Structure 1
Amino acid sequence: MLGPMVARMRRPLRLWSAGCATGEEVATLLVMLAEVGAESSSTVLGTDISETAITRARELCFSAEQLQRVPSGARERWFLPAPGGRFTLVGHLKDRAGFECHNLMDLPYPTAVEGQGFDVIVCRNVLIYFSPESFERVVASLAARLAPEGMLVLSAAEPLLRTPPSLRTVRFEQAFFYARAQEATAFVDAVLPGAPRTPSSGGLPAVGTRQPLPRTPSVSGLPAVGASTSLRTATSGRFPAVAPQKPEGSTEVQPGDAGAHSEADALFAKVLEWASSGGEASPQTAESLRRCLALDPDLSAARYLMGMLLEQRGALAEAAAEYRRALRSLEEGRARATPFFLNNARLQVACARAIERVERGAGPPPAR
């Protein structure tokens, strides 16, 4: 949460929206800073690979449709009517924004004012386009741009398979965020491998959403922007062992029974709980996910994680099959949303990108 960060640091905060598209996320972060009482000299940097997107982002002016998820009170406080039925962010918040055209595959990375690290870096729904190797290199580079107590915010759908040692996982009620580790390494420029130059996309997320605070008072971060969360581990990034368990007091159920979905959800929640502990993957992890899918074959979030686990193990053909089944359930409207993957539309995009990624990794089929 930004509120505890503002209270603890008592100084201007520096935020970076990496892959900001046409500025929706930058506007959201500026409003959030204002609503939690951040110092007036706090800033938000927005970067994107697309010069066209950055040109539009600099206006910080949005259509009524883009603002439809913003609560009416926040719209009235922070947005002013503009020509053409559009709405522009109030001037004093606009002044806190900066924009640059930047490709995450290019070095050097942006730096915060006066060379300091960023307190929060938000990079959501961008890295699903990258190969696992490029993804890991970019995440490590983003982590190196964090301030000592900085937080990295990714989306749930992004396939981080190995977490760099410079990050540690912070578990919230329905999200994982990543804090810079105490002994993080300094940023070192290096040649990054190629990745598709696909600009990010986005709609303006809801402003002013309140998430439950973590129970540990010394840990704080930014709530999941746009009702999207991130699943990662703090050490190896692999899914840890978790034995299949039934919820307390539950009875045996079969697929199609009234209790099948609730048991699948409880087991899936247990997988997520163990995933945040930083343990190693084991056959029990896959067994737990298979049990989820036996109870509810259309639990696409669990099937997506199964695909990630198989991809991590190098079983690319099997991973692609799981991603395809998850995508089919989503496209046909059979998939249920889960608390951790709140946005099925974005999970659908992530599945499609994952299929492309593993097919690229598998290469052409062998000659017969």
Structure 2
Amino acid sequence: MSTGPVIVTGAAGFIGMHVAERLLDRGETVIGVDVFNDYYDPTLKAARAARLDGRQGFSMVRMDIADDAAMMALVRDSGAKRIVHLAAQAGVRYSIENPFAYQRSNLAGHLSVLEAARHNGVTHLVYASSSSVYGDRPLAGAGFKETDPVDAPVSLYAATKRANELMSISYAKLYGFPMSGLRFFTVYGPWGRPDMAYYGFTQKILNGEPIEVYGEGKMARDFTYIDDIVDGIVGVLDNPPAPGGHELYNIGDNDPVGLMEMITTLEAALGQQATKIMRPMQPGDVTATYADIDKLNALTGYKPKVKLAQGLDQFAKWWPTFHKA
């Protein structure tokens, strides 16, 4: 384990909070960065941040990663040589309505982190990409591999994530510091994002409201529990490429589940049935996601442990702790 602090951008986010907790649990010093925007309920972000505040070795910096001067100063003054860059504007559908939010967070923000890393001797930059870079593909007999073509994004969000990968590849070659990009597959679990289907479904089911099932329920996702995602992130952080190297890794469950099966599993976890309204697929959505995880397994021994029923049970148990009546 390297010495010195780790910067975690997006530390008040779903994945960022859990990564910061895992690093703190093993004795790391963590500097969190977050802008606390209002893309979804800021009280959820504040509650996540509150779990980290006061923990030995943790500090939070409220900052926009696209502020390149502030990002440069933070990396320089902290002496951090490792960065886990998770801050981004998420959401496929939101990118259709608010494209410039993605320009700032995902393009200018990523470039800001790259520049700060290369000018301050960062030895490993791990950053979030997305399974959305694979575009709209049918389920085949095998999972999506990191070597598959990724030149047909169906949303601006996906395009910005592929742009992040290309920017990072060029910086690794030009400036010689190692980088690892992580293609996340449908992350879920306690403290998750309200814009995700399982979260919104839970709210409506418990309120007795009907849920809208897009794609006529025929879509499938490689649902990956948050603890398994964190296993993958920390495993990659501890195994940087050689200087000047850039690697991409899928982090998923390697077991796609149909949307209707997910809803049935969620109903069982909540002990309540859903009234379903079937809708056509929305612009920007993809039919299926399916992670081939052989590359990550070879590097870190990664093997997802939490199946969907267990993970949704954990989410259902968490729900009333935050959503108090």
Indicate the TM-score class for this superposition, using the shorter chain for normalisation: 0.3 to 0.5
Judging by fraction of residues, say which structure has more helix. Answer: 2
Higher relative contact order (CA 8 A, sep 6+): 2
Larger Cα Rg: Structure 1 or Structure 2? Answer: 1
- Tell me the TM-score normalised to structure 2 length: 0.39
